[in-house]
């Protein structure tokens, strides 16, 4: 996504079962760990549940690189970017700034329509900071995406310090006629960590952006990274507790990925900072611990991200997103039944 670490860029586009499609799915049960969970039960609300409340058929996100830059790279908010960021990892291969928004969406549609002819689509403005332009320019881009046949809404990834009220007012107006969600890269509620990773904004910025977005009736998602430098389970829990107090609709969790060529990779190699070195099972247990603290109305969109193997230093679990989700469900069921 725009302001997290990474997203996947497999040749097959994105293949996360949580991201992929949504039909009409029975309402999610509140998450309860006190009752045994039968194998295969999904014990929390996921993104499919959330989208199923808004769309009657299958819906697929298509990532777009609209050619934005980032205010944490160009000096407006900071220089050098977040220490973990390498934007090469963001986009499926059909995204490129040489293709127009329409061309990118049509290419994505062609990929999915072969298998699902009745599929409809959400334009996912993903790479860099997708609100970093004038309202007039943003309006033209968003409305170009919405003019593509079968595109039924927008998801806009951005930083919490890049959403002026004038833009949110426009998005509020837009959301009265189509689906609009703004997805903020919050990463952590710990301001010390935010400084350490050169994020360029504070937790207060996130809380403020979410409040202003929610107040206008716009769907709101947050993105967090688990395993940022020097953080422990206590920091993750504090962040989830802070998130739980915000009026958000969806949440993405990602493991920190150490990416070649980033400042963070150099800092870790030089021993300046430490980052979590966990197995997939250990990370799943952290996610389970955090799910216990999350209000059941918040839909969890995903737990992991997959960067291209050529760029990834660690962790190298070799699991696809849906494989990790199955692992987590198995462990959750085992814990609930024990």
Among 8, 20, 45, 73, binds ligand SF4 (CB under 6 A): 73
Q: Measured from the CB of residue 176, what is the shortest distance to ligand SF4 in angstroms?
A: 29
DSSP characters over 64-108: E------TTTBSSS-BS--TT--GGGS--TT--TTS-HHHHHHHH
Cα(236)–Cα(121) distance, integer angstroms? 33
Per CB under 6 A, the segment of 80-88, 138-146, 148-156, 216-224 that binds ligand SF4 is: 80-88
Cα(325)–Cα(114) distance, integer angstroms? 26
DSSP annotation of 128 reads S
Name which of 128 and 179 has its Cβ closer to ligand SF4: 128
Among 50, 128, 142, 184, binds ligand SF4 (CB under 6 A): 128
Three-class SS of residue 34?
coil
Q: Does 258 bind ligand SF4 (CB under 6 A)?
A: no
Q: Does 223 bind ligand SF4 (CB under 6 A)?
A: no
* Angular region, 164: left φ>0, alpha ψ -120 to 50, beta rest: beta
Per CB under 6 A, the segment of 66-74, 143-151, 238-246, 273-281 that binds ligand SF4 is: 66-74
Question: Which of 124, 90, 97, 88 lies closest to 108 in space, CA to CA?
Answer: 124
Q: Is-contact 155 181, C-beta < 8 A?
A: yes
Q: Does 81 bind ligand SF4 (CB under 6 A)?
A: yes
Size of site (CB under 6 A) for ligand SF4: 13
Site string for ligand SF4, 159-178 (x = CB under 6 A): x-------------------
The residues binding ligand SF4 (CB under 6 A) are: 2-3, 70, 72-73, 81-82, 85, 87, 128-129, 159, 185
């Amino acid at each position: 996504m725009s302001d997290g670490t990474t997203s996947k860029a497999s040749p097959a586009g994105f293949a996360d079962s949580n991201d992929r499609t949504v039909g009409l799915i029975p309402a999610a049960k509140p998450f309860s760990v006190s009752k045994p969970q039968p194998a295969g039960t999904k014990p929390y609300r996921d993104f499919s549940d959330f989208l199923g409340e808004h769309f009657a058929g299958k819906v697929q996100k298509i990532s777009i690189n609209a050619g934005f830059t980032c205010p944490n790279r160009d000096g407006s908010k900071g220089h050098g970017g977040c220490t973990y960021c390498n934007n090469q990892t963001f986009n499926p291969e059909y995204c490129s700034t040489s293709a127009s928004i329409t061309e990118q969406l049509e290419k994505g549609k062609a990929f999915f329509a072969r298998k699902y002819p009745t599929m409809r689509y959400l334009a996912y403005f993903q790479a860099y900071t997708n609100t970093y332009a004038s309202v007039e320019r943003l309006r033209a881009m968003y409305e170009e995406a919405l003019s593509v046949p079968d595109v039924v809404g927008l998801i806009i990834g951005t930083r919490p310090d890049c959403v002026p009220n004038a833009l949110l007012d426009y998005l509020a107006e837009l959301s009265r006629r189509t689906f609009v969600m703004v997805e903020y890269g919050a990463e952590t509620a710990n301001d010390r960590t935010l400084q350490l990773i050169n994020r360029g904004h504070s937790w207060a910025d996130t809380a403020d952006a979410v409040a202003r977005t929610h107040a206008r009736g716009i769907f709101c998602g947050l993105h967090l990274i688990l395993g940022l430098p020097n953080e422990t389970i206590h920091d993750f829990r504090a962040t989830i507790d802070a998130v739980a107090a915000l009026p958000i609709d969806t949440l993405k969790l990602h493991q920190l990925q150490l990416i070649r060529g980033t400042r963070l990779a150099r800092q870790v190699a030089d021993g300046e900072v430490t980052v979590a070195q966990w197995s997939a099972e250990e990370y799943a247990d952290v996610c389970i611990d955090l799910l216990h603290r999350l209000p059941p109305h918040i839909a969890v969109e995903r737990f992991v991200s997959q960067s291209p193997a050529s760029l990834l230093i660690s962790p190298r679990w070799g699991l696809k997103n849906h494989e990790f989700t199955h692992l987590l469900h198995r462990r959750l069921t085992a814990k609930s039944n024990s």
